[in-house]
Each structure stands twice: as structure tokens, then as C-alpha cells.
Structure 1
């Protein structure tokens, strides 16, 4: 346990007070559902970029990825490389188009609402089913953040795991409840900068030497840690293993909490600047996370007998060992920042699905904007309680929970979003088939194992969803209205601010 807990506790409290202050300030600027769920589409390039990055990476960046690098060595580069490529492609090919199209379809605020209006689904079946899967997968995703929070408070303060998870949940819900999207985005800007600083500072100070020294020490301990083609045991990586790791990059195209940042940017011009910031931040942060895992291998070997019960705590262990409690408190707050920046975004997207896509469409079609915001806030509380129930299992893995939810969104919505932005022939039946096939494939494939079924479920899910979209769209009667509307949207790309 870290010494001088009073100092660290004070640091945490100051940090939480600042985040809550931002939330209360944003509350004064939130008067409509568009403000609450999308910040009035007013984000500049810096908050757009860092909010997307911080809400993307979460506690996984400071716990899951360093833990994986600690266990697997250079094998983790396949995962990091796939994520970096996916980040860049998502910004490059999706961001401007999604922002433009979502505005053109009568200012759609949510992904289900966008798909429904894009394909003129008056039955609202596409919107309802999409919202259902968003809620399902976000329960797992949000719970991963709460698990990370539990590990943080448990390791730092020696709290009982269940108590630690509950405290973390209260921290996240507090400012999300009041400030909505603006609070989430502004706090993400602060948290993203803090996360990047921590990921650079910790390995540089803990390394206390050169990269060549680190490489030599790793080779002396286990030369297999330095190869991309073998695992830590010296066994060759199969194509299934490599494809499963690199395929994480496919997930970006369907993550609602990341896509929401594209829609909230104030102009298409700002998206170009935001892309450069976001990709640079991601590259720097992931490099730091991997280096923390590599440095941790040497530290644990030299100081802890070569074994660590939970590799996902290596960042906290290095901070404890290297830094003064005041600095340690600030750096550990970066973990809380990472957790909060994602969990708040996920809660907000989930609440928008309940309020906009279920409540307004199925229960109160004439609900006022103020009423929708109230329902959204109540949904934040309800969804956080459900995620809390999942997170109370102390054996939960941050990386395991994230991988399932990431695949669900990537396969369930990624192909549908991509085709909706680039293929004029796609129609409502094709979109519905893509969402259903992609999502169901993830759920079913996850239950199977052995041989081909060891492949990360996002790969078959993404492929089968894409096939379903093309086949069902071509089998359905062409819709001239939808195709003509698509052509109109294309013209707006170059003229829209």
C-alpha cells in the first residue's frame, strides 16, 4: 500500500472537486437534449480529439494494456498497432461523413436515430433493435471501467474490493448526471492530457537508464519477450493469434461513444486538426503503456521475486515504488481520469439510447426536450447500478470485459456505419441485417472455443455483418428516394462548414 495515504487522498479529492466543478458549470449551459447528449455540436478540435481518445482508451490504457505487455512482451505490439491503425482510419474515413450525414438526417443525436433516419425506417424497428444492443454491450463496457476503479481504490487505499467499486461508481456518476456531454467532453480534455503525461513520465523515470539497457535486461530474462512472432513461452504465434490482436482496430468504426465526438465537432474543418491531435495522442499514450509493461517485467523480477498476482496493477506498483506520495497521488489520479473519461461517455450514450431511442420513440413521442433530459439523467443512475452489479465480481478482468463489448460494437455497428456512409445502394433491410448478424455472431462465437473459434469474435462478426448488409440490400427492392438522398449528402461534404 502506498505511504502517506492522507496526501494521496487529498490529491484525489482535489481532482474530483475540479471534475465536479466542471460538471456543475456545464449544467448551467445544458438546456436541451441536443446540449445534454451532444454538447450542442460545439466542440473545438482539442476537446473533440482528446475526448474521443480518452473515452476510447479508459482504464484499459493504464491497467489492461500495461498488464498485457507485462505478461506477453512484444506480442502486445500487434494489439497496439491494430488499435493505432484503426484510430487513424476511423478519423480519416468516418468523421467528416458521419458529422455531415447526421446533421442532414434532421439532426440525429444517437447512432440508432441516425440509422433509422438515414434509411427512412418509419417502423422504428431498426432504431429500437440498435438501441437494445447498445445497452447490452455497454453494460459490459461500463462495468469494465468500474472494475478498474475498484482495483485502483483497492490497491491504493487497501479498501475492500466491493467498497472500492461502489466509491468509483459514485465518482463517475456525480458529474455525468449534471453536466451531460459538455461536462464529459471538457473533463475528458483535462483527463486526456493527464493520462498522456502519466504514461510518458512513469516509464521514463522508472526506467532509470536507456532503452538498450531495458532490451538487454529483457533478453537476459527471456529472449522470447523481444520477438513479434513467438509468445512468451517461445511458441510461434498462429495466424489466429495475430489476426485476433490486430483486429481490435476494426472495433473503432462501431463505438458509439467515439462516433459521438465526430458528430459533436463544431465544423468539418476542425475534424482535420482533431484527427492529427487524436492520432498523435494515441500513439504517444500506447507507446507509454507498452513501455510501462516492459519496465514492469524487470522491476518485478528484481524486487518482487519475479511474480505478480495481478499484472493489471503494474502501473500502480511502479508509481508506488518510484515517486513521492504527492506526485504519486497525481499520477494515480490519471488512472481515475482514464476510468472516468470512458465510463461517463458510456453512461451518457446508454442513457441517450434509453431516452431518445426507447422512451421518446415507444412511450412518449411528444416528450419535451426538458423531459428527455430528465429521463436521460435517471437512466444514468439506473444503468450505473446495473453495471455496478456486474463489476462486483472481484475476479473480473478489465481486458476481458472490454474485449467482449468492443467486439459487440465493432461488429454490430461498424459495418452498418461504414456502408451507410459509402454505399448508396444500402437500405433499411440491409442495415437491420447487419446489426442483427454482427451482434448475434459476437454473442454466439464468444460461447465457443477451440480451433477457428479461438479467433477473436470481432473478425467473423465484422465479415458476416458486411456480407449480410450487401446480400440483403441487393435482394431488397431498390429505393430511389434513399439513393437520391445519399447523393445529396455527398454534395454537402465539400460545402458544409
Structure 2
């Protein structure tokens, strides 16, 4: 792919903007709470777009349009599942998590919240959940770095290693400097850019094809099944796609935004902004995939996931194309920076401060967090040196893994007073184990278990948590006491 100077200038300008935001955030960050949660002072609009941008990643601009381009509108069901999951997450989890984490000894991370919610003085819950986050997110970040490197490689005609280093340096720099505020502010900027790209490009493509009616006719002439919502429909496939929404309840990088919002009273406005952004973005991605089918009807793309990139290059002014293609990097960066920050927070807050019992000043803790982030980034980059490495395949389990292990745990911790530390441990372990073994069972038994592992993993974790809590309720009375105290604070804080 050839590179034009205006596009390069625009693209580099975007990267410099993110670094500038990182510097501003650096000046506003003085305590560990600032670095990990922005001092719990995030406004509703920034929270909303930060949730959306850190959630959607490159899947929104590359994966989903590519799937639509390849198979048509029947692929949209995963988007429907995500919308349902997201709105339920805002309604069920966000308000209680915001107040529970504040009044549970001002918990800054999900592992710390689990420990405080269940009065786990042995630190077992904290250690297991922190280790789970650290392992999963390290591989997740590696995968994201591979995606960013491939983008640089395609756009700037660089070799893979150079592209990997450049992408990592940009992402790590502003996150290293500004922590949570830098990540959230850049996510807001990136979320706006992503939405703008998903609105502009389909409109430009439809205009180029001669209008909406002409575009639709080309699409139908290419393959009528592309417009069929229930093409190749099966109930197992439908349930598997819809089940992606269950993952929201357990994603640490999304839950941290709920913990950081300024007030519970800001959540309704933030929720509305987030859902409007999400629905418009998904509709834009759907439209992009469909217009891509029509535009490339006579010369199909070899890689469906490049439809966004090639349409931008083909139809837009180079200056505009630079901004639009920067939106792809935005999507990738907005997830990687959030995951890096969660890993850094876990290392310092959960391992260094509490499990290792190390003492340090607030300023020292902030700098330890920065270097912990740098360490995780180096490990992730090392894994990403080989983009074909089988170890990176573990990220396919990450969404289901977090959703199954932490989703039921978070929900039960927020809503059931009888849920105790033994039940929480059973939920985390059983949910993670089922997610790992389910694909193996499916392969061993010739597709009998052909359903997304999130469904059995989530259900198993919920059932195990309830059963074990019931059986061990006489051994743990303190968890119920803590829950009742947190509920009183939540009601009083509304």
C-alpha cells in the first residue's frame, strides 16, 4: 500500500496529540489513586466514551466490518448481544460497584474489592484474581500490539519489528506518563474519532456508488443472502453470538471506569451517552461492511478485515484518510492502554502494597506503577515478536475467561448477601476452568459441545458460587456483615 505525505503528516499529528494528552495528564497525577482511578473524578462523557473505546478495540473497525463483508448482515447478532450486555452492565453493575468499591476500604482494583467485600484476611481471593488478570491481560496486550504493528506495517510500508516498536512506544509513552487520566482522556478523543470514521466512510462510499438504491442493488446482485438476517441460522450459533454480552460483567478494564466515575448520580447520563455511541458505532460498522461488498463486487479483497483501510485509501482525500486510518489505531490503542494500566495497578496495589507488604510514599507508588507498566509492556512486546506464536491464541479465551470467572462473582458480590469468600473462589476457579476445557471437549467429541464457552463457563461459575456459599455459610458470617454495611452506604449515597 503506497503512502502519501498528507496522510503521513495527519497520522503523525494524531500520534503527537495523544502524547500531548499524556503530558497534561502527567501534570494532574500526584497520588496512586490518581494514577489508578483518576482520583474517582471522571466526568460522565469521558467515562462513557472511555468505556466504549476501551471495550470495542480494533474489532469494531476491522473485525466486525470484515465479518459483515464476508458473510453479510447475519453477523450482526454479536453486536446485538453486546448492546444488551452493555446496557445491563450499566444498569446492574455500575451504580453499586461505584459505591461498594469506595466504601469497601476505598478499593482501587477488582482483586482489592473482592478481598474487602469478603473480608478475606488470608489474601487468597486477591492473589488468585490478581494473577488471573495479570496473565490474561499480558497475552491480550500482546495480541493488540500485533494488531497495531500490522497496521503500521500496512500503512507505512515498514518491516514488522520496526512497526511493533513504534506502535508500542507511542501507546506506552502516554500511559506511562499520565496513567488513568491519560488513558481516559485519550479514549474520549479516540472514541469520537472512531464514531466519526464509521459515519463518514459508509456515506462517502454510498455516494461514490451512485446512492443508496444503487448500492443496495449492487449488493443484492452480488449475493442476495448478504441481506438475510437469518442466513445460515442455528439456535446454537445464535445463542453463542448473543452470549458475548455476558462478558461485560467481568472485564476489569471496563469495570474500572465504573469505579472511577465522579458520582453515582453521573451514571445515568454517562450510560445514555455510552449506549448512543455504541449503537451508532455498530450500525456504522455494519454499513461499512455492506458498502464494502458493493464497492469491491468485481474485485473482492483478499483479506476482508482490510475493507476499512482500502475504502479510506480509495475514496478519501489523503488528509482525511490520515485521520480516518488513525481511527483504526485509536481502536487498538484504546484497549491496550486500558489493559496495561490494569496490569500495572494489580502489580502495585495487589502484589506490592498488600501481599508483599511493601511501604512507599504516594509519589514512589506512582513511579513504581509506571515502571510496572513498562515491565508488562516489555513482556507483551517480547511475546508479540512472533505474530504467529500459538501462545497468542490464548487471547481468544480472554473475553470468555474474564466474563465467566469474574462476571458471576461481581454480580453475586453486589446483589447477594449470603455470597461468601468460599463461593467467590469457587466461582472464579470453576468459571476459568470451564472456559479452558470446553473447546477441548468440543474437539474431542466431534462438535457436541459446539457452543461459545462463555455460556457453560458463566452458568457453572454462578451455580458453583451459590452452592458453595450455601454449604459454607456457617464458616463465614463476616461477608454478610460487610454486604449489609455496603448496602446501607449505597442507599444513603443515592
Report the TM-score range of the alignment, normalised by the length of the smaller protein.
over 0.9
Kindly provide the CA deviation profile for residues 71-117 of structure 1, in whole angstroms up to 9, marking residues without a partner as x: 12112111110011111110011100000100110100000000111
The answer (yes or no) to whether the contact 1:140–1:404 under 8 Å persists in 2 is no
- Alignment correspondent of 2:416: 423
Distance 1:249 1:262 in 2: 17
- Alignment correspondent of 1:219: 220
- Alignment correspondent of 2:316: 323
| 1:481/1:364 CA distance change after superposition, 3 Å | closer
Q: How many residues align?
A: 487
- Where do 1:130-279 residues align within 5 Å? 130-208=129-207, 209-230=210-231, 236-279=232-275
Range with bigger deviation, 275-284 or 403-412: 403-412
Distance 2:191 2:219 in 1: 30
Range with bigger deviation, 286-295 or 32-41: 286-295
Distance 1:220 1:375 in 2: 60
SS at match of 1:453: coil
| 1:447/1:213 CA distance change after superposition, 3 Å | farther
- Where do 1:317-466 residues align within 5 Å? 317-395=310-388, 403-448=396-441, 449=443, 450-466=446-462
Kindly provide the CA deviation profile for residues 392-442 of structure 1, in whole angstroms up to 9, marking residues without a partner as x: 344589x97764211111111101001101111100000111111111222
Distance 2:212 2:435 in 1: 40
How much has 1:372 moved relative to structure 2? 2.6
Distance 2:27 2:452 in 1: 44
Distance 2:108 2:489 in 1: 19
The answer (yes or no) to whether the contact 1:151–1:313 under 8 Å persists in 2 is no
The answer (yes or no) to whether the contact 2:65–2:305 under 8 Å persists in 1 is yes
SS at match of 1:301: coil
- Alignment correspondent of 1:233: none
Name stretches of at least 5 consecutive residues in structure 1 with no aligned partner: 231-235
Distance 2:357 2:119 in 1: 20
The answer (yes or no) to whether the contact 1:54–1:192 under 8 Å persists in 2 is yes
| 1:418/1:59 CA distance change after superposition, 3 Å | same
The answer (yes or no) to whether the contact 2:118–2:478 under 8 Å persists in 1 is no
Distance 1:396 1:333 in 2: 27
Distance 1:379 1:447 in 2: 34
| 1:211/1:88 CA distance change after superposition, 3 Å | farther
- Alignment correspondent of 1:123: 122
Kindly provide the CA deviation profile for residues 115-149 of structure 1, in whole angstroms up to 9, marking residues without a partner as x: 11100000001000001111121123212321221
The answer (yes or no) to whether the contact 2:194–2:330 under 8 Å persists in 1 is yes
Range with bigger deviation, 310-319 or 361-370: 361-370
| 1:468/1:210 CA distance change after superposition, 3 Å | farther
- Alignment correspondent of 1:45: 44
The answer (yes or no) to whether the contact 2:421–2:479 under 8 Å persists in 1 is no
The answer (yes or no) to whether the contact 2:118–2:482 under 8 Å persists in 1 is no
Correspondent of 1:488 among 459, 469, 485: 485
1:10 aligns with 2:3: no
How much has 1:340 moved relative to structure 2? 1.3
Distance 1:10 1:364 in 2: 48
- Where do 1:76-91 residues align within 5 Å? 76-91=75-90
- Alignment correspondent of 1:293: 289
Kindly provide the CA deviation profile for residues 218-257 of structure 1, in whole angstroms up to 9, marking residues without a partner as x: 2221122222222xxxxx3322211111111011000101
| 1:13/1:361 CA distance change after superposition, 3 Å | same
Distance 1:22 1:87 in 2: 27
The answer (yes or no) to whether the contact 2:119–2:478 under 8 Å persists in 1 is no
Range with bigger deviation, 355-364 or 255-264: 355-364
- Alignment correspondent of 2:72: 73
Distance 1:392 1:76 in 2: 32
Range with bigger deviation, 467-476 or 201-210: 201-210
Distance 1:160 1:291 in 2: 32
Distance 2:217 2:162 in 1: 42
Name stretches of at least 5 consecutive residues in structure 2 with no aligned partner: none
What's the TM-score, normalizing by structure 2?
0.94
What's the TM-score, normalizing by structure 1?
0.94
